[in-house]
Chain A
Amino acid sequence: MVDPVILIPSLINGLTTGALYALVALGLTLIYGVLHIINFAHGALLMLALFGVFFLNQIFGIDPYWALLIVPPAMFVIGYGLQRGIIGKASHGRDENILLVTLGLSIIIENMSLYFFRSDTRTVDTPYSFEVVEFAGAFLPLPKVIAFFGALITAGLLWAFMSRTDLGRAIRALAKERKGARLVGINVDHVFAMSFGIGIACLGVAACLLMPSYYVNPQVGYGFVLIAFTTVVLGGMGSFVGAMIGGLIIGVVEAMGGLFLGDSLGQFGIFAIFILILLFRPTGLLGHKA
């Protein structure tokens, strides 16, 4: 029997973890929604961003939160370049090509990381790593609280960008109707690359928010990418709000599953949801029929 005293703290912990899942999934859903690409390299690129934060801290002493000024823009450039250089070219062929290309990219990035960074697990120790915020009887690690609000703010900014700027409108137009967007003069290649870049920049933000309470090694992306795919499917492919809600649900399901079924079965709940959604509501909670 689970002690009721730990239910609320566990629920809060699930929400804070879920916000991070949502942040990783935001980029994935943007890339899928606009480019219709299932990006298997998402986890590997998150790992690259985490290493970026780590090395900025170790070499230049830059705090992970100050790295927000450097890592997301750098990841944007990488994403933009990948789309213009590799993914864009591969996407002119059959649909399967793009899956294989992103899978291949993921393997290349991980193996290069293993070669250059070695397999050591690295962590960043900051003055606030062990600070906690007491809330409803729960000790919430300060980095997790910051990550929770950081994820919400990022999602809000992304939503404002998509709905209030010309580029955001162009991205949405492209997501809805490619031919029409091209006809009204939208530079499709540029907007595709911008979308991919923004999606990957979200990983940069996630990495900066994650690093103070997490670790990095060349394999770290695996765990996140599976969760991110589940989040996107649950929320609805291409839906920002869906990704946020999906992330929070998955975080809570994981936490509650761990509490009631044991930690090793906590993820069972997540994948049970994944299968149920695919079976009974393939468009996800907030997705639209194609």
Chain B
Amino acid sequence: MTKKTPFSIKRRTFIAGSGAAALAAGVTGFPAVLRAQAPDPVRIGLVHPVTGFIAFSGTQCRAGAELAIADINAAGGIQSLGGAQLEAMLADSQGRPELGASETARLIEGGAVGIVAGFSSAISLATTQEAAKTNTPHVVDVGVADDIVNRGLTNTFRFAPGYGAVAQSAVARLDEINKAANSPAKTAVIIHEESLFGTGTANLMTEELPKIGIEVLSVIRHANPTRDFTNIALQLRSLQPDLIIPANYYNEYVLLARTLRQQRIEAKGIYSVLGGAASNVQFVQEFPEAAEFIMDCNHWYDPNSEVALQRRAAAEAKNLFYTYEVFCAYNAVAFLADAIERAGSTEKEAVIEALNGSTWDNHGMPYGPTEIVNGQNQGAQAVNTQVQSGRIEVVLPAEFASAEAVFPMPSAG
């Protein structure tokens, strides 16, 4: 018979008690030791429209941003902060500026060191303004309205070009292409979606095209979403422009291009500005015939850059279409991370100072090293692409070109 003492304890009870004590000690007694081993993560807020009418683009942006975070973490994180890992804080603007703003505020309250947002111009205007209230560094990934960086917000940075610069390039290069073919294009119709991006781009093009001798016959605005482009195609048939210039989001572009083909509408050129098939791998793969010879002036990587090609291969290995949203968001995150690295701090002022002084060049874009003036990267530029034999080729500027422009486009027969 076992003799019991007042302090006797069973073996199982002891083990359980020890385990509990060890757990309690782990939770309360040693966090300082654990923290010393792994620095606090650096939280980056990603605000994108992953649902709603531009969900495809928003999802692509998020995927690009997450790829960048994964790559930076795999390479050892932020070295100047002891290898701190980047951590994504995700938010969905649903394509609505007011939601983008409230989600930005939520992420900042939750500890985001910087914000990368928001795909559309209207959303970017709202998210940058919200981040400005707390002077939180904000890098715009795709929003192209010039007002985003022209409002004097010191927290706002844009690595990619705005539509003012893109429209000027688009017009100058169109002039170059047209003149090289003995100026066959004399008239154009602009078809644009009705939000800030499409309207702003259309206004700029309407102003600039007459300066190169191209008359704008009509500017046709359409809603998002638009279910049917037959009316617009019929108007094009009536107007018979030499050039069709679309500026719209992916879904509408797909329908427009299909309708043009169905309605047998032909022009000397389909020349998109910041939209369109020529710079969307998915469209080119799914509708190679409709996309053939379409030109676009848009965000695009340097086809001769090893960095860009490696990133493209990595993205495609993950079954991602390597659209401009993916690499623009990737670079926006990497640009911000580079600034945090150089700042050696997550203090907002220090990061903003580092962003202003950035000379980052590991981006694979046709930009050269970063040079920020009033938040805008001065070297950022769009390139001209054209679909040729089912491939997206860069046709201008010549220093980045992978093929020569085909203009006027051959008849589909």
Contact = CB atoms under 8 A, between A and B. Distances in A.
Interface in B256-295: 258-259, 261-264, 282, 286-287, 289-290
A255 B282 contact: no
A139 B262 contact: yes
A139 to B, nearest CB: 5
Interface in A207-226: 213-215, 217-219, 222-224
Contacts of A263: 220-223, 226, 231-232
Interface in A111-145: 111, 114, 118-121, 123, 125, 129-130, 132, 138-139, 141
Interface stretch (A6-14, A66-74, A155-163, A230-238): A6-14
Contacts of B287: 123, 125
Interface in A1-35: 3, 5-6, 9-10, 13, 17
B230 interface: yes
Interface string A246-279: 0000000011001100111011000000000000
Given A119-B50, A217-B56, A5 B238 contact: yes
Interface stretch (B110-118, B201-209, B247-255, B297-305): B247-255
A266 B231 CA distance: 10
Contact of A223 (B225, B250, B258, B321): B225
Contact of A215 (B52, B194, B221, B255): B255
A263 B237 CA distance: 16
A218 B251 CA distance: 12
B228 interface: yes
B234 interface: yes
Contacts of B228: 13, 17, 254-255
B227 A223 contact: yes
B235 interface: yes
Contacts of B263: 132, 139
Q: Interface size class for chain A?
A: 35 or more
B234 A6 contact: yes
B264 A129 contact: no
Contacts of A258: 231-232
Nearest to B50: A119
Contacts of A17: 227-228, 230
Given A119-B56, A121-B254, A132-B262, A214 B227 contact: yes
A264 B221 CA distance: 6
B254 A123 contact: yes
B237 A6 contact: yes
B250 A121 contact: yes
B51 A119 contact: yes
Nearest to A6: B234
B55 interface: yes
A271 to B, nearest CB: 12
A262 B191 CA distance: 11
Contacts of B59: 118-120
A151 B393 CA distance: 43
Given A130-B262, A217-B55, A262 B221 contact: yes
Interface string B133-148: 0000000000000000
Contacts of B251: 121, 215, 217
A68 B124 CA distance: 44
A123 B259 CA distance: 13
B262 A141 contact: yes
Contact of B222 (A10, A120, A214, A264): A264
B53 A219 contact: yes
A262 B238 contact: no
Closest 10 CB pairs of A and B: A119-B55, A263-B222, A6-B234, A3-B238, A13-B230, A258-B231, A264-B223, A141-B262, A119-B59, A264-B194
Given A6-B237, A10-B234, 19 more contacts: A6-B234, A10-B230, A13-B228, A17-B228, A119-B51, A120-B59, A121-B250, A121-B254, A123-B258, A130-B261, A130-B290, A214-B227, A219-B52, A222-B225, A223-B225, A224-B227, A254-B228, A263-B222, A264-B194
